[in-house]
Amino acid sequence: VMCCCGPCAMYRRSALLLLLDKYETQLFRGRPSDFGEDRHLTILMLNAGFRTEYVPEAIAATVVPNSMGAYLRQQLRWARSTFRDTLLALRLLPGLDRYLTLDVIGQNLGPLLLALSVLTGLAQLALTATVPWSTILMIASMTMVRCGVAAF
């Protein structure tokens, strides 16, 4: 996996100690970064040659957003860390599973295509006063593809 979720992840102490300096001094645009630390640590582990593994039998508890505002803030933080850490992970992709490569591409291109579709639809609505059915269809199609990939 490309991101071992913080409350669910376990690491060998010896592996963590090798990467602790890089992990604790995480910077983004020259400033200390405190978001996306679980994804960053996973990518550091993969870059160091360690393996990550999903264990479906694992049970963990965590705090989840209980309002739409908190959920949207969480998703924005996650999106920022996804975009930032993708640059660190690009070298890893050829050596990883094809599904992970597809997932990384989808996580990065999907939001950009969604934003472009929404802007195109708004422009059509503003300039022609017509309902942007093609944009609505594109957004629905992108959603179905993303959900299908996740289900696969």
**Chain position carrying tokens 């299908």:** 148
- The verdict on 37 and 72 lying in the same domain is yes
- What are the tens digits of pLDDT across the range 103-120? 777 777 877 888 888 898
Residues 108 and 146 in one domain: yes
Q: What is the pLDDT of residues 52-109, one digit of tens each?
A: 887 888 887 778 889 989 988 888 888 777 777 787 777 888 877 788 788 777 777 8
- Whether residues 82 and 122 share a domain: the answer is no
Model-level pTM greater than 0.85? no
Q: Which structural domain range is residue 130 located in?
A: 96-151
Closest CA to 108 of 87, 137, 133: 87
In the chain, how many domains are there? 2
Same domain flag for 25 and 78: yes
Cα distances from 81 to residues 39, 89, 106, in angstroms, run 7, 12, 15
The reply to whether 84 and 103 lie within a common domain is no
Residues 109, 69 share a domain: no
One domain, residues 118 and 145: yes
Same domain, 45 and 120: no
124 and 52 together in one domain: no
Half-sphere exposure of residue 86, counting CA atoms within 13 Å on the CB side?
Answer: 15
Instruction: Please say whether the beta carbons of 124 and 132 come within 8 A.
Output: yes
My answer on whether 87 and 146 are in the same domain is no
Residues 2 and 14 in one domain: yes
Q: Do 90 and 131 share a domain, yes or no?
A: no
